[in-house]
Amino acid sequence: MTPHTAPTPTVSIIIPMYNARATVAATINSLLRQTLTNWEAIIIDDGSTDGCARLVEAAARREPRIRLISQRNAGPGAARNAGLDLARGEYLAFLDPDDTLYPGAYETLLTLARSTPHRAALGSWDYTNEAGHPLAWAESAAKVPTLNLEALLNREYFAIHAQLLHRDTLGGLRFDPALRFYEDFDLFARLAIRGVEWATTDRIVCTYRLRSVNRASPDIIRRFHDDAGVIRRIFSQARAAGWGDRIDLTPARETGLMHQHALRFAHLTLLDDPSPSGALAAEIFASIRSTLPISPNLAAQAIRDFQFVDRLDAADMPREIPRYAAALAAWWRRCTAEGWAGPGFEADARRAAARELASMQDFSGALLNRCGASRDLIILGFGRNGQRLAREMARRGLPITVRDDGLNADTARARAGQAPITFINRDQPYDPEPLYLLSVLSDEAYLQRLPRGLDLVRWADHYRHSAEDYLARLINHWPADVRASRRAA
């Protein structure tokens, strides 16, 4: 039986491929391990020159669900469109040839998509470095209950291979072949303008491989201009579709979003830019002619952008502080000299950067080490830090009990994943006997809601001490002419 006479597949997976010889075999293997077996994979070779097409041809001979189509190089958008034109599946998925899926990915997404009006679902994902080594950080799609236009404008991150949607939901929309970058964000924003919403889950369904890229090359300018053009087009189309009555589409919001994006792209260049004062970063930021001042907290987001560029776990970042301090000092002084930041900006931004570094650390082991072996433990709050505590408790063989009065039962179970976790109902009174692990980072409001007399270990205490330590390290490695200003910091 040939692929063309086979029953209609449940899912069509479109894979644009360009010079992916080193990674495409792992991508295909992750498809073959799917628990949902009624799928077809359409791999569009977009003019590759490294021999990856021969690997796919061999795989297609062994596996009839795989099809290879070759075309002249036209970019990822055009390649995905070619795959869409050939897709026969009820649902559509996209996968890049350097990323992989967990075995239950499509089964999880299909179950979720079928339960929602728009028949669209988005899962969570984790990261590896270029060599495929897992990184201890992940993106949760369930930070929002549904991914809609408002969430996309807030730039809730999504990975294209973490989503699934019905072919009727996509309809006749296609990727913009003129975009070499951010063509996926552009398409899904246009779907959102039509009212499509993706149901989300905390379940990790795939892995995103972070590739080594020289981000100080002229290519970064094109990336930024593609990104900026997409943002402007989204605002224009959303206003024309009448969304201004439902969400904020004011020029002020558009300007603020452009300001944030330009600063992020500027950050991405800093570690690779050989110029002494961030010339490429300055060129990017100046291009939007922003009149908004750069806030210290926004400037401190450079730390997370550096983590992305370096593809590091948070635990490995302290060794990079000398390099980060040099890059940030030069850039922030350039911002002050250009009038993009106000008085006291450098010291305030340095404090914010220390807090950012501390917020990325995992203190679950340190918290548990403070707990007596005979005490019952209850995690308060089941966000990112609460889930970290649960994973560490599972690793140590400890029973896991969680209370989060802001979660409903379904969300709590989704976040639990496979771990055996007991959730305490929000209506149940607090037991004074256990030791409570308060996982919320900014916990002052949470503390006011708790009854007096509970025995607490606070994540926030470790965070505060870590932030103080990082600030001292940053100042110690800051250029010599500001070390004398320790008291000011």
Cα dist from 321 to 203, 328, 353, whole Å: 33, 10, 11
Fold of 364-465: Rossmann fold (3.40.50)
Beta-strand pair 100-101/39-46: unpaired
Whole-number CA gyration radius for the chain: 24
Gap between the Cα atoms of 119 and 163, Å rounded:
11
Mean pLDDT of 343-369: 95
Cα dist from 307 to 140, 255, 339, 356, 385, whole Å: 17, 26, 27, 11, 19
Mean pLDDT of 402-430: 73
The DSSP element (H or E) to which 160 belongs, if any, is none
Q: What is the pLDDT of residue 427?
A: 85
Q: Which CATH architecture has domain 11-209?
A: Alpha-Beta Complex (3.90)
The DSSP element (H or E) to which 447 belongs, if any, is helix 444-449
Q: What is the pLDDT of residue 481?
A: 60
Cβ contacts of residue 149 below 8 Å, gap of 6+? 189, 192, 193, 238, 243, 247
* pLDDT above 70 for 419: no
**Terminal C-alpha separation, the chain:** 72
Number of neighbours of residue 167 by Cβ within 10 angstroms: 15
Gap between the Cα atoms of 455 and 433, Å rounded:
8
Mean pLDDT of 330-335: 96
Q: Where are the beta strands (DSSP E) in 353-409?
A: 377-380, 400-403
Cβ contacts of residue 246 below 8 Å, gap of 6+? none
Question: Residue 7 gets which letter from DSSP?
Answer: P
Query: Which of left, alpha, beta for 311 (phi over 0: left; psi -120 to 50: alpha)?
Result: left
User: Token pair of 78, please?
Assistant: 């055009």
Tell me phi and psi for residue 262, to 5 degrees: -60, -40
Domain spans of the chain, in order of start? 11-209, 219-360, 364-465
Question: Can you tell me which residue has the tokens 């403070």?
Answer: 370
Which of residues 217 and 254 earns the better pLDDT score?
254
Strand partners, 91: 11, 166
Gap between the Cα atoms of 470 and 472, Å rounded:
5
Gap between the Cα atoms of 323 and 412, Å rounded:
40
Q: What is the pLDDT of residue 482?
A: 44
Strand partners, 103: none
Which of residues 139 and 93 earns the better pLDDT score?
93
Mean pLDDT of 152-161: 83
**Where is average pLDDT lowest: 130-144, 306-320, 419-433, 473-487?**
473-487
pLDDT 10s digits, 265-302: 999 999 988 887 889 999 999 999 999 999 999 999 99
Mean pLDDT of 24-30: 97
Closest CA to 91 of 31, 30, 149, 170: 170
- Mean pLDDT (the chain) is 90
3 state DSSP class of 421: strand
**Count of positions (residues) in the chain:** 489
* pLDDT above 90 for 197: yes
Q: At 489, is the pLDDT very low, low, confident or very high (cuts 50, 70, 90)?
A: very low
Q: At 154, is the pLDDT very low, low, confident or very high (cuts 50, 70, 90)?
A: confident
Q: What is the pLDDT of residue 488?
A: 45
pLDDT 10s digits, 60-115: 999 999 999 999 999 999 999 999 999 999 999 999 999 999 999 999 999 999 99
* pLDDT above 60 for 415: no
Q: What is the pLDDT of residue 418?
A: 55
User: Token pair of 258, please?
Assistant: 């452009």
Torsion of CA 137, 142, 148, 153, to 10 degrees: -40
Gap between the Cα atoms of 244 and 113, Å rounded:
28
Share of the chain above pLDDT 90, in %: 72
Which of residues 377 and 481 earns the better pLDDT score?
377
Q: At 483, is the pLDDT very low, low, confident or very high (cuts 50, 70, 90)?
A: very low
Query: What is the separation of C-alpha 285 from the centre of its chain, rounded to a whole number of angstroms?
Result: 23
Closest CA to 95 of 86, 104, 107, 105: 105
Q: At 218, is the pLDDT very low, low, confident or very high (cuts 50, 70, 90)?
A: confident
Q: What is the pTM of this model?
A: 0.87
453 burial level (CB within 10 Å; 0-12, 13-18, 19+)? exposed
Q: At 425, is the pLDDT very low, low, confident or very high (cuts 50, 70, 90)?
A: confident
